[in-house]
Structure 1
Amino acid sequence: MAEREVRVKLVADVTDYEPAMKRAAKHARKLRKALRDLETIQISIRVVRDRG
């Protein structure tokens, strides 16, 4: 498999980025606090492949 360097320039409107990151950080702090109170954690992952 050959490798090749590709350069791209992404131009995006980021007016909603900072408020969204602040909201995410707030939720992450709440989640981290809630996780500290848990005794056990069970995580289930299911992979479904669509072969249509």
Structure 2
Amino acid sequence: MSAVAMMPLPPDDGDSDGGVRNPHRVALKEGVQLATCLGVWAIFLFLVFYFLL
């Protein structure tokens, strides 16, 4: 199970201005979601290894 599948997707409001999507805003939101996902996994793995070792 991938970490991206576990995270809820934010509502996509990129096409609220007449159907024209802003690629910078979409890329920014995807980057923030990826960074949050990686941060959660990093903390989780750190805690697992910290308590196991």
State the TM-score, normalized to the length of structure 1: 0.44
In proportion to residue count, which structure has more helix? 2
Structure number with higher relative contact order (C-alpha < 8 Å, ≥ 6 residues apart): 2
State the TM-score, normalized to the length of structure 2: 0.43
